[in-house]
Structure 1
């Protein structure tokens, strides 16, 4: 997993640098060509451009052209690396991963697990599960003592029924002694349903939310297997 993440980050960075450099050099090359052509068109026939100066300008043109070609080749290499990273990351499909996220997918019967850390200044903690419209379907009180907590939602709603299968959002709020609320970061366990290449970065889709594969902290078995 570390190798895939590092390669993905490197491919993304290299791609951005290559595109920026290629665009810059290509622009300079076009400007240089226009300047050279204009100079030749408007030179005094009785006093043509000095041959040494002209050869120097042609050498500069050749160097600029080589730079553009080199950047084009770099773009090709970056594309190959990104393709390889995506291919390697395909082993994550269907696997259960742990990622920092507030999105969870409930299949209608299997409890969804999540974790969070309570800071030392919390006087109370509230855990909410929100549906797609942002409405709280389940609200419970969590432990307020400072520390790391593993929790789970079994799909039960505040009305006592079972929530329908779908994607939900977690909201864990710690309230300090002075009444100041703070939303805590959560880590969830979910299945990788899809992989996407977004701006050169490989993203895993977990519970409908895109997460960079470099943010995956652990990879478990294929969902539904032991």
Structure 2
């Protein structure tokens, strides 16, 4: 089965390089040079993955991601040279799943694309039901329904934030390295780029911890990784 990719990027040289490489890898690629054209293409056709730049005139990448997320749960990969924009797109609920920093190698890009599509295909398959409701102080995590409440109030977690939380609460007191976290949650090889994990961990702590700067639940073991401090 040939998977289809929507590439939204205003730099023609990058579009040509990325499109040519992904086509050789067996993907069908549709490109758009503006955010407006990207949204229009998305509304007219079904895609397995969206790759979008963030810095584009008029309708920028974050607006494009928000519009797409209102319509679909399709995997979205960001291309950006600015960490601050990546932080916003990954951490503020815009809905992007992963990012690759410019300049990047085509081999790494293709690996990310294949892994994201593979994960999306796996997640679309039915999973065994889990009947678990875990409580930690005023925090309650319903594994089956994916509902998290704090002091009785529901929390709005992104899918990756919930995946991280589920990993920790179902393995209390176990220490996870960043490479292990990336493998379990993103189901991919760890490239040594800490930004994606750091952003998601920070946003998760801001939602579940009373004092994110002095976390009660997700503890950092400097130079090693993280663990959930619960029984």
TM-score, structure 2 normalization = 0.21
Q: Which has the higher contact order (CA 8 A, sep 6+)?
A: 1
* Higher Rg: 1
Q: Which has the higher strand share?
A: 1
TM-score, structure 1 normalization = 0.21
